[in-house]
Amino acid sequence: MLKGPFLDKDFIGSNKNYDKADIVMLGMPYDCTCTNRAGTRFAPQQIRVESIGIETYSPYFDKDISDIEFFDAGDLEFPFGNAEKMLKITEENVDCIYKDNKKLLGIGGEHLVTLGSIRALKKYYKNIAVVQFDAHTDLRDEYLGEKYTHSGVMKQIANLIGFENIAQIGIRSGEKQEFSLMQKYNTHKFSPAELDIFSDKKIFITIDLDVLDPSLMSGVGTPEAGGMSYIELINWLKYLKKFDITGIDIVELAPDIDTTKTSTATACKLIRECLSIL
Amino acid sequence: MLKGPFLDKDFIGSNKNYDKADIVMLGMPYDCTCTNRAGTRFAPQQIRVESIGIETYSPYFDKDISDIEFFDAGDLEFPFGNAEKMLKITEENVDCIYKDNKKLLGIGGEHLVTLGSIRALKKYYKNIAVVQFDAHTDLRDEYLGEKYTHSGVMKQIANLIGFENIAQIGIRSGEKQEFSLMQKYNTHKFSPAELDIFSDKKIFITIDLDVLDPSLMSGVGTPEAGGMSYIELINWLKYLKKFDITGIDIVELAPDIDTTKTSTATACKLIRECLSIL
Amino acid sequence: MLKGPFLDKDFIGSNKNYDKADIVMLGMPYDCTCTNRAGTRFAPQQIRVESIGIETYSPYFDKDISDIEFFDAGDLEFPFGNAEKMLKITEENVDCIYKDNKKLLGIGGEHLVTLGSIRALKKYYKNIAVVQFDAHTDLRDEYLGEKYTHSGVMKQIANLIGFENIAQIGIRSGEKQEFSLMQKYNTHKFSPAELDIFSDKKIFITIDLDVLDPSLMSGVGTPEAGGMSYIELINWLKYLKKFDITGIDIVELAPDIDTTKTSTATACKLIRECLSIL
Amino acid sequence: MLKGPFLDKDFIGSNKNYDKADIVMLGMPYDCTCTNRAGTRFAPQQIRVESIGIETYSPYFDKDISDIEFFDAGDLEFPFGNAEKMLKITEENVDCIYKDNKKLLGIGGEHLVTLGSIRALKKYYKNIAVVQFDAHTDLRDEYLGEKYTHSGVMKQIANLIGFENIAQIGIRSGEKQEFSLMQKYNTHKFSPAELDIFSDKKIFITIDLDVLDPSLMSGVGTPEAGGMSYIELINWLKYLKKFDITGIDIVELAPDIDTTKTSTATACKLIRECLSIL
Amino acid sequence: MLKGPFLDKDFIGSNKNYDKADIVMLGMPYDCTCTNRAGTRFAPQQIRVESIGIETYSPYFDKDISDIEFFDAGDLEFPFGNAEKMLKITEENVDCIYKDNKKLLGIGGEHLVTLGSIRALKKYYKNIAVVQFDAHTDLRDEYLGEKYTHSGVMKQIANLIGFENIAQIGIRSGEKQEFSLMQKYNTHKFSPAELDIFSDKKIFITIDLDVLDPSLMSGVGTPEAGGMSYIELINWLKYLKKFDITGIDIVELAPDIDTTKTSTATACKLIRECLSIL
Amino acid sequence: MLKGPFLDKDFIGSNKNYDKADIVMLGMPYDCTCTNRAGTRFAPQQIRVESIGIETYSPYFDKDISDIEFFDAGDLEFPFGNAEKMLKITEENVDCIYKDNKKLLGIGGEHLVTLGSIRALKKYYKNIAVVQFDAHTDLRDEYLGEKYTHSGVMKQIANLIGFENIAQIGIRSGEKQEFSLMQKYNTHKFSPAELDIFSDKKIFITIDLDVLDPSLMSGVGTPEAGGMSYIELINWLKYLKKFDITGIDIVELAPDIDTTKTSTATACKLIRECLSIL
């Protein structure tokens, strides 16, 4: 055999043993329903490659992810242009993770992948709440006639777990009717303490990276000015740390759009912070 | 004929009837006096194309531009490298708009186009004030021997309507003499309430997009660090809503510079907000 | 009304009267089955915008497209991620064009759109042959379980009109089985004279722009080195001019990938040449 | 003083003594009449910077430019948007060069600058011929009402020296009337031997870089497919070497458009070859 | 000689006389130890070129750099991949500057160049303190076996002048051990007043541009979200103005990464502000 | 465990068993001596990622790499800025490959890595010839005082195996002395038949990707116009197929420079062709 030393092909700081892992990182490279620029399909690969460039230590959480037992499972292979099949494959694999009593760290792909994860999660836990960080409401019933799109994923999830178990943070774009829905069900949250209603729930956090201001996170399909700073997002995560979190996913990075690679590097660091609170 | 359905070729939410319109959107694709990188000439086209990707509903103003009667007139055709002719064509067309008792939503092009609009406006209203959002003073008497340049447009406008009718917001770049002029005439404003002196005036708002921080708005010829955030600009517009606004223009976007398209998408949203207060 | 002059919003040289037109230019902005980088959905818009920069006169064909009666119908609106509906909409509109006894100049979108056009064409003409310029065979039966993809569009077309009515030019990528199919049916052509077998047919030419070398045409999802030069493609078109051509489409431009805009400008010129031989 | 060593701020291989120089390199950073994308104004600076990366030895001409006496005079400072003043400044400076019995190596800037050089040249030599390498005829009488534009520079030069003293090589774009002019005066040349009619003339070579295929030279305002390869252009220069060349200019590079810097690097090498034949 | 006028080849506002200068601007284009993306070697050249586009007047410090006596010495020439030789050349040249009783304004290149400057500075002043603005601790003992790298430059400087003479501002990335070192020696500072301990020292300020948020300064090898705004950095510099500053360097700009040129333009302005406080 | 299906993390078509492999693919991500733009360090990772997008079947060699037994060993981890250590690590690992009686398919990194491979190869075979495809001679004795640089790698290899065992193809850049060396030793080859002198040798082919014309392969540090087309390179490889090839490396891709990804995709395909002749 070769002597090496070799660079790691997996996310920096991961270990190689699925059985010992508490957390499973799973790539979900699907992007066929995007309504604007595509390319989220390439995110998990580029995140893995770029992760070599970040530090494993998070000064925000004073934690080194080398000390966390997480396994990088690689990327699922999906058919193109078939949302149903994608959802089924995602659900089946996330099902394994929860059956094995582990937690999920999902990496999209477009936001629709979250629906597959929640479908699996729902089989194992009754008392679920989903905390969504996003620029968009994602509450459409359908988009140009299609039901399963990244513009309606939270509506589908609400159908599964109820609007009362959803919190929406950072929202600043949507149709008038979508904003009315948020108001009706009071899902739009503006301060961390509003999340205390979920203190006895199993929390799933879904982070659409466009919740961050496009000045920092330009590598997304639909940049929306007026978003969060990185520190603001970290502060939300610091508050959420005390909750019972069973899974997190980070979606909608389109790495090729931001040729400075700031977006991809920021996603890598955010994954580091998320591993720190899981 | 063809059955369609077809995508709109005009700005999203516009209607097709000039006569019924309260507002006329007019593209002014001129960029021949720029002192740094050019390309503002391509802004109106790209704004129109990119507008398909934004929502017509503004959560900041709780208004849907589909409910506003505005007509997208398309882009004027200008000669190259002849500022005088461009000003004449602009003036003639804006003249029509005010004669027809409508309001202007101009889309540059470089900042010099604003001079053409003010020349027309001045024929119809006596009591005009111009509120400028900009990183630069634009108060030069001349630039390398030329009088009509985007670096001196506000000086030309001041010559027309008087320095006392000008407010300058977000300024952070210029020659020492230009800053002295701002001080002498007290045109540099730092808080919305300072604009109350214009409460009985016909207001024209001119927004040079480089007033925004280049972290968000990098698609401009001369990026100037230390600029406004999108929310700060929205807050100024919220205050201005109560004034009697007769026209707004949005200038100096150079769409090709920012390949992430964040700049163009942000310009589209800002136009949506501007339509909401016109 | 406004005085203008205004820039044209349509493809340069087009006229405004559908009824008088001999040729209808129709945008088909669909890209949901792409197996690599996406973005062909933005091609028709950008081609229209960029067309302003080209000359209407083609020195290759000594013809000015201002002298040709063609109508720019704009872009169809498609649902996302639903190939069947897209094919239906395309077929219905192209049907109108042939019913009105006109010719089609289609602008993709991904290559799958061609199937919709051929379905319509087949209703009006019995004796059809399709001449494909492409880097890829596009002869897959399915791709990751999906039947209607841009990787299998020529297989679907062969099912409709028979392999004997297909010519494939410029092919240099595919699976071993696909190359075997080309050999079996002798569809792979290397010199213009081989096309003479179609001299009594109604010809439809479909040009996947990746037939050109990616040195020139980098704005495609799957760049394949070893392709044609522009002059080589022009020479094929010069030979085809004598045939009875009923339609042409130009597909798979992904304009945002090539930030130099060479790809989009070249597509515009190629459309000019195609108009010249229709 | 500082010890160094220091990198050269001038074009690689240049010497510091104007008086001893046989050739003067002069930057002419003007770009205000461009009809498409601008940015040629930045070419001389970027060429100077990038020149550090090339070899001083040309294997094509077996010559090292370190052995040639040329002086890099730097870049002229022009007013914006004033073609007449630019032409005057250019003429005055090129006048000095010819008065001092040196040769010119001009670096644009847009093609219009050549007119200034020819005006100066004409005072010192009676028997001038201009050999133009270009994708475009540049024979317009006017463009949108303007006389002095880069689209009409050769027409202006023809007015000065007569069509019979003009050769146009690589042309593949223009209006029908412009191609008619070329035909009428037989200025369009296809093989080097056709240039022998100029064997007793003082030759000025003007190279619009878009004569090269945009696959190689994408950093131009108006990329035109179907252009020359680098080797083809070198072969023309090899033939021209035997002529009595009094000046060369290289124009229309827009360095920022080609972020790979292939265009700028190629311009640097072409300048090296041009120095070799001057 | 030529008449001109000519553009300046040096940093805008500089004068041509070394002897009269109070400040020497010196380019240090070295980048061979970078652990992520390279290209800082091109920073001094591009800063010089881009400086033409900025105003010489700083509204933040109400000072015009045309009124400051500074000399732009150009860029040192370094061997590739030999840190020791680079440090020696840097030290020798900075030595000259301090021997001639001037101040240094260094422009990197990677952060390692600062070590050369401090080595020279230490010969002339006993009582030195270094104020570091940076996203990274730069306190590694070694990196992959190498001692002299940009990841360990502050450790090397601490070895020279003692940890008690170091202040670290803006730090948000490093290994756990590096953060422990900062805590142990209390070098991590969060408010300007903490710098008062250095009121009797000779201050050297070293600014790694990645201290700024990558939303503004994306042109760096390792973008770290959560950084300073431009105004925050200006405020630190305003406080530092009263100290006895003997030198400043600005390092780690990789200009080609940020094709919008916002990073380079911002570096130019920051240099203007730094000249204002030297 | 998870059900999958999963995408491959390795080069497409590779198998997972080192012992059964005939060929070992080994990434050598070193780039510290580059004299122009860097970034070759990222090539092996991006090639692996992009390889998913290519077909495993080569129509040029009528071979499917799924039928070839090759193992993707991953990327060596090198120290930064230490050429000697890099060469040692490379040599040790390539040594293993030849000891295990396999062939090498190396992926750079910069061209200097080839020296490590040849050092290892030389221990196992006496009768070695190196066939270099390159734009540059790479025959410098030293570069700015450094001996081990990518500009001198072929000189170092000549010192090991003798100039008579070197063939240089595609060369078009270098110093005058380097061209003299090529002439003296007759290493510069222009047609495949000239390689027959090596018919009884163990051949190592080293392909610096800048041998290809930068129109196609712009993702290199030093683009040199006038290079080979892809088909020309394929034709050389077709001729070389009959030789006894023991190793090939493909170096100097800098993937981030070419944002169209044409360069990386072309490198992937070239690797496919190289696997076909090994």
- Global ipTM: 0.95
Task: Say if CB B169 and CB B236 are below 8 A apart.
Answer: yes
* Percentage with pLDDT > 70 across chain D: 99
Task: Please check the confidence at residue C194 and state whether its pLDDT lies above 70.
Answer: yes
Task: Please check the confidence at residue E53 and state whether its pLDDT lies above 80.
Answer: yes
D20 touches chain B (CB under 8 A): no
Test the D interface: residue of C46, C230, C270 with most D CBs within 10 Å: C230
Closest CA in chain C for residue A84: C81
Q: Kindly determine whether residue B225 and residue E215, on different chains, have CB atoms separated by under 8 Å.
A: no
Note the pLDDT of residue D210: 98
Q: Kindly determine whether residue B219 and residue E55, on different chains, have CB atoms separated by under 8 Å.
A: no
What is the distance in angstroms between the Cα of E237 and the nearest Cα belonging to chain F? 33
C53 touches chain A (CB under 8 A): no
Q: How far is CA B145 from CA B33, C258, D75, E129, in A?
A: 12, 38, 18, 48
Task: Please check the confidence at residue F253 and state whether its pLDDT lies above 90.
Answer: yes
Whole-angstrom distance, CA of residue B128 vs CA of residue C78: 47
Closest CA in chain F for residue D216: F215
Cβ contacts (< 8 Å) between A39 and chain C: which residues? 37-39
Closest CA in chain E for residue B171: E59
Whole-angstrom distance, CA of residue B119 vs CA of residue B90: 9
Task: Say if CB F80 and CB E146 are below 8 A apart.
Answer: yes
Q: Using omega within 30 degrees of 0 as the cis cutoff, is the peptide bond preceding F170 cis?
A: no
Q: Kindly determine whether residue B75 and residue C26, on different chains, have CB atoms separated by under 8 Å.
A: no
Mean pLDDT of C36-48: 92
Strand, helix or coil at D251? strand
Q: Kindly determine whether residue A215 and residue B262, on different chains, have CB atoms separated by under 8 Å.
A: yes
What is the distance in angstroms between the Cα of B83 and the nearest Cα belonging to chain D? 8
Q: Kindly determine whether residue E33 and residue F82, on different chains, have CB atoms separated by under 8 Å.
A: no
Note the pLDDT of residue D151: 87
Note the pLDDT of residue A151: 86
C59 touches chain B (CB under 8 A): no
- The lowest-confidence range among A149-163, B165-179, C244-258, F139-153 is F139-153
Task: Say if CB F111 and CB F90 are below 8 A apart.
Answer: no
Residue by residue, DSSP assigns B62-105 as TEEGGGS-EEEEEEB---TT-HHHHHHHHHHHHHHHHHTT-EEE
Task: Please check the confidence at residue C80 and state whether its pLDDT lies above 80.
Answer: no
Task: Please check the confidence at residue E274 and state whether its pLDDT lies above 90.
Answer: yes
Note the pLDDT of residue A35: 66
A226 touches chain E (CB under 8 A): no
D39 touches chain C (CB under 8 A): no
Handedness of CA D229, D235, D237, D239 (dihedral sign): negative
Residue C108, C-beta contacts closer than 8 angstroms, at least 6 positions apart: C28, C29, C30, C40, C43, C44, C114, C249, C250, C251, C252, C253
Of B174, B223, B258, the CB nearest to E55: B174
Note the pLDDT of residue F69: 97
D208 touches chain C (CB under 8 A): no
Closest CA in chain B for residue C24: B2
Note the pLDDT of residue F28: 97
User: What is the overall mean pLDDT for chain C?
Assistant: 95
Note the pLDDT of residue E34: 62
Strand, helix or coil at A102? coil
Test the D interface: residue of B31, B32, B40, B147 with most D CBs within 10 Å: B32
What is the distance in angstroms between the Cα of B227 and the nearest Cα belonging to chain A? 12
Task: Please check the confidence at residue C145 and state whether its pLDDT lies above 80.
Answer: no
Closest CA in chain B for residue A179: B59
Note the pLDDT of residue D149: 81
Note the pLDDT of residue B93: 97
- CA E252 to chain CA centroid, nearest Å: 8
- CA D136 to chain CA centroid, nearest Å: 14
Note the pLDDT of residue D34: 62
Note the pLDDT of residue C143: 72
User: What is the overall mean pLDDT for chain F?
Assistant: 95
- Confidence class for position D79, pLDDT limits 50, 70, 90: confident
Strand, helix or coil at B209? helix
Test the B interface: residue of D34, D35, D80, D257 with most B CBs within 10 Å: D80
Find residues 107-166 of chain B whose CB sits inside 8 Å of chain E: none
Cβ contacts (< 8 Å) between A257 and chain F: which residues? none
Mean pLDDT of F150-159: 93
- Confidence class for position D157, pLDDT limits 50, 70, 90: very high
Of D179, D257, D259, the CB nearest to C59: D179
A64 touches chain E (CB under 8 A): yes
Note the pLDDT of residue D33: 65
- Confidence class for position D146, pLDDT limits 50, 70, 90: confident
What is the distance in angstroms between the Cα of E135 and the nearest Cα belonging to chain A? 12
Q: Kindly determine whether residue A266 and residue E223, on different chains, have CB atoms separated by under 8 Å.
A: yes
User: Chains touching chain D at 3 or more Cβ pairs under 8 angstroms?
Assistant: B, C, E, F
Task: Say if CB C139 and CB C158 are below 8 A apart.
Answer: yes
Note the pLDDT of residue D145: 72
User: Chains touching chain F at 3 or more Cβ pairs under 8 angstroms?
Assistant: A, C, D, E
Test the A interface: residue of E177, E224, E261 with most A CBs within 10 Å: E224
Whole-angstrom distance, CA of residue C83 vs CA of residue A32: 11
Positions of chain B with pLDDT lower than 70, given as ranges: 33-35, 144
pTM for this predicted structure:
0.97
Note the pLDDT of residue C36: 76
Task: Say if CB E135 and CB E170 are below 8 A apart.
Answer: yes
Alpha helices in chain E (DSSP H): 43-50, 83-99, 113-124, 153-161, 176-185, 230-240, 262-277
Positions of chain A with pLDDT lower than 50, given as ranges: none
User: Chains touching chain B at 3 or more Cβ pairs under 8 angstroms?
Assistant: A, C, D, E
Q: How far is CA E151 from CA E90, E95, E131, in A?
A: 18, 24, 16
Q: Which two tokens stand for residue B186?
A: 């007290």
Residue C49, C-beta contacts closer than 8 angstroms, at least 6 positions apart: B42, B45, B46, B49
Note the pLDDT of residue A142: 79
